[in-house]
Amino acid sequence: MLGGFISKKYFDRKRVVFVSNAKSYIESVKDTIQRRDPNQTEFQEAAFTVLDTLEPVLDKHPEYIKANLLERLVEPERAIQFRVPWQSDDGQFHVNRGFRVQFNSAIGPYKGGLRLHPSVSLDVVKFLGFEQVLKNSLTGLPIGGAKGGSDFNPKGKSDSEVMRFCQSFMTELQRHIGPDLDVPAGDIGVGGREIGFLFGAYKRLNGYQNGVLTGKGLTFGGSLARPEATGFGLLYYTHAMLKALGDTLTNKKIKVSGAGNVATYAIQKATEYGATVITCSDSDGYVYDPNGIDFKLVKQIKEVERGRIKEYAQRVETAEYHDGSVWDFDINYDIALPCATQNEISKDQAKLIAKDRVKYVCEGANMPSVPDAIATYRDNNIYYGPAKAANAGGVAVSALEMSQNSERLSWSFETVDNRLHDIMDNIFEISEAADKEYQLNQDYQAGANIAGFEKVAQTMMAQGLV
Ligand code: NDP
């Protein structure tokens, strides 16, 4: 029913004309989300943040209201939950939950990562899948949005245990994915090792189809520059933003959080741009090194040795290790790049970011800043690059991996990296253009939401009631 958001209704001769009100429509969609899934707080946070920025677009396009487009947008096309039984090395049987939320396929096959972490729930996967829809749209590539994962914790598990889990997970997931249907990739807890095990399991059941997963090893269809893509892309986006504002990365002091895939390559690229990255972290604590973090050592400790970031300070004389969040560490710097996880920056921590004279926050992780933190950035004139724009480099290169798989060709590192750079520049440009068109006063978050939304909305309208 459209009644809840129609503010005025009058008769124009034989026609009934509805004068719709964008704001009340948005509120009605938020009410529906809350009523349907009152406990899905992460999804609500992600969806409400986007919906709140779409009012000017709906004012311009009342036909979207008439077509009840937003309610369709916030409802996944499909949400799959399944049992994942597996056996640990000591012979015990375990059961985890697996999820795949296929959110929106308007502009292409479903695409989005798999996360293995104890915090994974339907709520978390829905929030990530929803963000993925607009993020994928921003890349300009023909990919829809999805996300998946499990509450399995790979930390401390042996390679054999991780392999058995991945095989069991894929035994069910394979029914729902395919190179032209849904193409998962990595996310937290899913790197090259896990993608290899998942691909092997898929292949046993369905034969060799290398386009079914991205983030693969180079010997079976992986793309050069895919591991680097999210971190490098974050810096290309940040560089584009600073350039547009007449600034540069050279000699900037940067705080990075996290020490995983995204953080490691963000540190590398920031250093190449002439900036100094003074921190990185894991879920126990953070390292501070005024001389600049060595990304190779972070990679060695976290990826190769699967150790803790504490060990960094034991190996580097100028580095200090502290327990707790890096966002509680009080020191002046210029740029914050959160690259760990969702909701890692609270309102109080955002206030400290402002006090520490930070001018830019660009997000490598998904939704690392709570809504009040984002409001704090705005109140303090901090330029803010939201995750769906700033970290889209990973999925963009995943889509380029799909192109290479279809062509049965491998592109050089330079070719992929150049295309990534162009894509990230373009994401900033279209977000900035939307910001200008709707006079949002350098609100790059709203600009990105609108730019991502417009393509999906136009496509859904063109495809009828889908
Ligand atoms: P990884 O698993 O490789 O690394 C995650 C890192 O964050 C680890 O160092 C982890 O430490 C740390 N971490 C987790 N929770 C916290 C916490 N509460 N406080 C501080 N550090 C924490 O994941 P990725 O680097 O792949 O992903 C990081 C973020 O980037 C996620 O939000 C992900 O969704 C997003 N992202 C990733 C993409 C990709 O291509 N990989 C693409 C786009 C977004 P510990 O070892 O202690 O767990």
Q: What is the mean pLDDT of the chain?
A: 95
Q: Does residue 12 register a pLDDT over 70?
A: no
Residue 298, phi then psi, degrees to nearest 5: -60, -45
Q: Does residue 139 register a pLDDT over 60?
A: yes
pTM of the shown model: 0.94
**C-beta 365 within 6 A of ligand 1:** yes
For the chain, what is the HEC assignment? CCHHHEEEEEEECCEEEEEECHHHHHHHHHHHHHHHCCCCHHHHHHHHHHHCCCHHHHHHCHHHHHCCHHHHHCCCCEEEEEEEEEECCCCCEEEEEEEEEEEECCCCCEEEEEEECCCCCHHHHHHHHHHHHHHHHHCCCCCCEEEEEECCCCCCCCHHHHHHHHHHHHHHHCCCCECCCEEEECCCCCCHHHHHHHHHHHHHHHCCCHHHCCCCCHHHCCCCCHHHHHHHHHHHHHHHHHHHCCCCCCCCEEEECCCCHHHHHHHHHHHHCCCEEEEEECCCEEEECCCCCCHHHHHHHHHHCCCCCHHHHHHCCCCEEEECCHHHCCCCCCEEECCCCCCCECHHHHHHHHHCCCCEEECCCCCCECHHHHHHHHHCCCEEECHHHHCCHHHHHHHHHHHHHHHCCCCCHHHHHHHHHHHHHHHHHHHHHHHHHCCCCCCHHHHHHHHHHHHHHHHHHHCCCC
How many CB atoms are located within 10 Å of the residue 238 CB?
A: 29
Max intra-chain CA distance, the chain: 82
Per-residue pLDDT at 269: 98
Tell me, in angstroms, the distance from the centre of ligand 1 to residue 258's CA.
6
Tell me, in angstroms, the distance from the centre of ligand 1 to residue 120's CA.
13
Per-residue pLDDT at 96: 98
| Residue range 230-248: mean pLDDT, rounded | 98
Catalytic residue among 14, 23, 60, 147: 147
Best mutation site among 132, 152, 162, 187 for ligand 1 pocket (most ligand atoms within 8 Å of CB): 187
Q: What is the pLDDT of residues 22-70, one digit of tens each?
A: 999 999 999 999 999 999 999 999 999 999 999 999 999 999 999 999 9
Per-residue pLDDT at 466: 86
State the Cα–Cα distance between residues 176 and 236, nearest whole angstrom.
Answer: 34
Nearest-CA residue for ligand 1 atom 2 is 188
Domain segments of the chain: what residues? Answer: 8-74, 78-212, 229-385
Best mutation site among 230, 304, 423 for ligand 1 pocket (most ligand atoms within 8 Å of CB): 230
Asked if the 78-212 domain carries CATH number 3.40.50.10860, the reply is yes
Q: What is the pLDDT of residues 289-326, one digit of tens each?
A: 999 999 999 999 999 999 999 999 999 999 999 999 99
Q: What is the pLDDT of residues 320-345, one digit of tens each?
A: 999 999 999 999 999 999 999 999 99
Best mutation site among 183, 326, 341, 346 for ligand 1 pocket (most ligand atoms within 8 Å of CB): 341
State the Cα–Cα distance between residues 362 and 337, nearest whole angstrom.
Answer: 5
Nearest to 46 by CA among 74, 80, 27, 23: 74
Tell me, in angstroms, the distance from the centre of ligand 1 to residue 12's CA.
56
229-385 topology per CATH:
Rossmann fold (3.40.50)
**C-beta 264 within 6 A of ligand 1:** no
Domains 78-212 and 229-385 share a fold: yes
Q: Does residue 229 register a pLDDT over 80?
A: yes
At 76, list the tokens. 């996944």
Per-residue pLDDT at 20: 54
Q: What is the pLDDT of residues 89-110, one digit of tens each?
A: 999 999 999 999 999 999 999 9
**C-beta 257 within 6 A of ligand 1:** yes
Q: What is the pLDDT of residues 343-361, one digit of tens each?
A: 999 999 999 999 999 999 9
CB 341 within 8 A of CB 364: no
Query: Which residues, in sequence order, are CB contacts of 455 under 8 Å at separation 6+?
Result: 107, 137
Per-residue pLDDT at 225: 98
Nearest-CA residue for ligand 1 atom 16 is 283
**C-beta 344 within 6 A of ligand 1:** yes
Q: Does residue 16 register a pLDDT over 70?
A: no
Query: Which residues, in sequence order, are CB contacts of 45 under 8 Å at separation 6+?
Result: 127, 367, 370, 371
**C-beta 188 within 6 A of ligand 1:** yes
Q: Is 66 a catalytic residue?
A: no
Using a pLDDT cut of 70, give the percent of the chain over it: 96
Q: Does residue 8 register a pLDDT over 50?
A: no
- 250 marked among binding-site residues: no
Per-residue pLDDT at 223: 98
Q: What is the pLDDT of residues 367-377, one digit of tens each?
A: 999 999 999 99
Could you give the strand order of the β-sheet that contains 182-185, starting from the edge strand earlier in sequence? 78-87, 93-104, 145-150, 110-116, 182-185
Per-residue pLDDT at 1: 40
Tell me, in angstroms, the distance from the centre of ligand 1 to residue 339's CA.
6
How many CB atoms are located within 10 Å of the residue 46 CB?
A: 27
Tell me, in angstroms, the distance from the centre of ligand 1 to residue 104's CA.
24
| Residue range 406-411: mean pLDDT, rounded | 96
Q: Does residue 13 register a pLDDT over 50?
A: no
Q: Does residue 440 register a pLDDT over 50?
A: yes
| Residue range 221-237: mean pLDDT, rounded | 97
Q: Does residue 19 register a pLDDT over 60?
A: no
Amino acid at 242: L
